Chains A and B, each alone.
Chain A
């Protein structure tokens, strides 16, 4: 069934179709409609779940950790400051190997106060042990929630679904709501082997000496390696049932492209419009949309960029005193494998729109240069 819906509601439908059993959430703009719709769905008993209206995001994640540990499929959604408040427990959820799924609406961090989009909030959580899937459309948002539980429950690591504030969260698009029976077949009920069980009592997360701590950590890393395999597998499996394909990266006209614009989130759709316009003028430009941040798809990135003469990474985020965060990631994948010069541009922070002109400007700045003449370029900044 097709329905016109906002990105936030696509999350709610994704969670409902996934038959989540415990939801714990705290409101924050621009996430609120996710939990408003879910609270209605639960109250109307259209979904058999408990909804805990907690008093903070920290408690939202704590409740999800408790619920998941007890064997329930747990869900929450947040944004920016809320995600940052959860930070301690993001490590905890991953360290406890809990397949929690959370949606994060990308909102820039304060101060100064802002509610508009950039990716610093989620990218700052890069090293917490969460998988991160960046979405480009409301359809992808809904589908990604379902896929996320499938992958998370296989490898026992949590997943963050990430979408841009407003340009997805509050933008209405036509979305196909998959048939519940098909989703049920694709995503079986969560059967957690390590749940808190009074018949078989165990202690989880207890004090661990240097003798064993590293063994826990290598298992997390191996789970992430396996997650990459599972994501690729599910890309095929999901397409077979639902007809839509989501891989780790999403290339657009990169095969013969001399210049590849690397983006993530909704900036990709603008980049693709710019690519079309530039192609019409005979410029061989392509776009590579990064979908998965963790586990990082090294091989796919190298493969997609192998023919490029120039790579331009446009980051909607910044690691102060360094590069954009996607640039660090992509460059690190290319290092030792490719001689392609890499430019890094920072654009669209704090919800500043990224227009096709932004990309034309970036392409013009790179021009005929053989390699970048500075570490980092900022575009469209008032001085």
Chain B
């Protein structure tokens, strides 16, 4: 059997991710594509902990921990230094959660995207502030329970369209990805490594404790999110949209919602509302996918 991904691991065992952590799978796959000649910077996020406490690290690349809102600016600074020091070939990666991307880090992200700094910006999206104990973020979807959107007052706002915000900056490359489709993510990163300029990679990374889901359902959920159209997987290169995981027939959102305790309280009409929101967003994207 021919493996579909390189066998070399740049992420060692012994890390501190929870069982079934989507963010762990996201990093493991990413590292296979990005390789050794790379520098990472993390803001405050789950990966601050996952990487391991001082003096340990589970990654075989240099890593700079940084403040919560500073990922994109820090990566820009590292890149500028590497360029001026004649080490411009090294891939510079910012790696942030959804809070550090959609919310507190948005300004720095926008700045680096507008300047078209030659860096990768990864957002592993687990749809809430999971590291601090499941508080709602701008990435939390409509209907979800979090500790700051309790069951009685579940989240009424829709998830922020971070991909559209980034797209408005006309960056040379951006993509969404799901940990259920590692080959798709790998392929995108290999392609994007060839592109100079700002690259935004948005990876859906299920969080069993935060989503109140079974650890063994992580990949299943990540796949259902794509198959239901909740998290369409595509890329945008120079403004051209391409759906890389096709979903000609979409599964009902209920199949995805019912596996997660965070949606357990939703009544039939709430589920219908989620379905409506997903359909409308998917229709928007479908138009872009079909544009020549």
Q: Which residue of A48, A58, A212 contacts B70 across the interface (Cβ within 8 Å)?
A: A58
In chain A, positions 20-65 with a C-beta closer than 8 Å to chain B are: 21-22, 24, 48-50, 52-56, 58-60, 62-65
Q: Which residue of A49, A60, A67, A206 contacts B52 across the interface (Cβ within 8 Å)?
A: A206
Whose C-beta in chain B lies nearest to the C-beta of A66?
B77
Q: Flag if B70 contacts A56 (CB, 8 Å).
A: no
In chain A, positions 89-144 with a C-beta closer than 8 Å to chain B are: 89, 92
Please, which residues of chain B bring their CB within 8 A of the CB of A63?
73-74, 76-77, 80
Q: Flag if B110 contacts A59 (CB, 8 Å).
A: no
Whose C-beta in chain A lies nearest to the C-beta of B44?
A207
Please, which residues of chain B bring their CB within 8 A of the CB of A198?
36-39, 61-62, 90
Q: Flag if B81 contacts A67 (CB, 8 Å).
A: yes
Task: Check: A374 CB closer than 8 A to any chain B CB.
Answer: no
Q: Bound complex: CA of A52 vs CA of B84, how far in Å?
A: 12
Q: Which residue of A21, A203, A207 contacts B62 across the interface (Cβ within 8 Å)?
A: A203
Task: Check: B133 CB closer than 8 A to any chain A CB.
Answer: no
Please, which residues of chain B bring their CB within 8 A of the CB of A70?
39, 77-78, 81-82, 85
Q: Bound complex: CA of A202 vs CA of B52, how far in Å?
A: 12
In chain B, positions 69-103 with a C-beta closer than 8 Å to chain A are: 69-70, 72-85, 90
CB distance from A78 to the nearest CB of B (A): 14
Q: Flag if B107 contacts A55 (CB, 8 Å).
A: yes
Q: Flag if A208 contacts B77 (CB, 8 Å).
A: no
Q: Bound complex: CA of A54 vs CA of B39, how far in Å?
A: 21
Q: Given A92-B66, A206-B57, A207-B48: A62 and B73 within 8 A (CB)?
A: yes
Q: Flag if A66 contacts B76 (CB, 8 Å).
A: yes
Please, which residues of chain B bring their CB within 8 A of the CB of A92?
66-67
Please, which residues of chain B bring their CB within 8 A of the CB of A267?
none
Q: Flag if B73 contacts A54 (CB, 8 Å).
A: yes
CB distance from A113 to the nearest CB of B (A): 22
Task: Check: A72 CB closer than 8 A to any chain B CB.
Answer: yes
Please, which residues of chain A bring their CB within 8 A of the CB of B70?
58-59, 62, 65, 89
Q: Bound complex: CA of A339 vs CA of B60, how far in Å?
A: 60
Q: Given A62-B73, A72-B81: A206 and B41 within 8 A (CB)?
A: no
CB distance from A52 to the nearest CB of B (A): 5
Q: Flag if A205 contacts B39 (CB, 8 Å).
A: no
Please, which residues of chain B bring their CB within 8 A of the CB of A60?
73
Please, which residues of chain A bring their CB within 8 A of the CB of B49?
207
CB distance from B173 to the nearest CB of A (A): 20
Q: Given A55-B114, A70-B39, A206-B57: A22 and B84 within 8 A (CB)?
A: yes
Q: Flag if B111 contacts A49 (CB, 8 Å).
A: no
CB distance from A253 to the nearest CB of B (A): 46
Task: Check: B53 CB closer than 8 A to any chain A CB.
Answer: yes
Task: Check: A187 CB closer than 8 A to any chain B CB.
Answer: no
Name 20 A/B residue pairs within 8 A (Cβ), A-sorted: A21-B81, A22-B84, A24-B76, A50-B80, A52-B77, A54-B76, A55-B108, A58-B69, A62-B66, A62-B73, A66-B77, A71-B81, A72-B81, A74-B77, A196-B64, A202-B63, A203-B54, A205-B65, A206-B48, A207-B49
Binding site for A on B (CB under 8 A): 36-39, 41, 48-49, 51-57, 59-67, 69-70, 72-85, 90, 107-108, 110-111, 114-115, 117
Top 5 closest A-B pairs, CB basis?
Answer: A66-B77, A55-B111, A63-B77, A59-B73, A205-B65
Given A50-B84, A201-B60, A204-B62, output 5 extra A-B contacts at Cβ < 8 Å.
A56-B107, A65-B74, A198-B61, A204-B64, A207-B49
Binding site for B on A (CB under 8 A): 21-22, 24, 48-50, 52-56, 58-60, 62-72, 74, 88-89, 92, 196-198, 201-209, 212
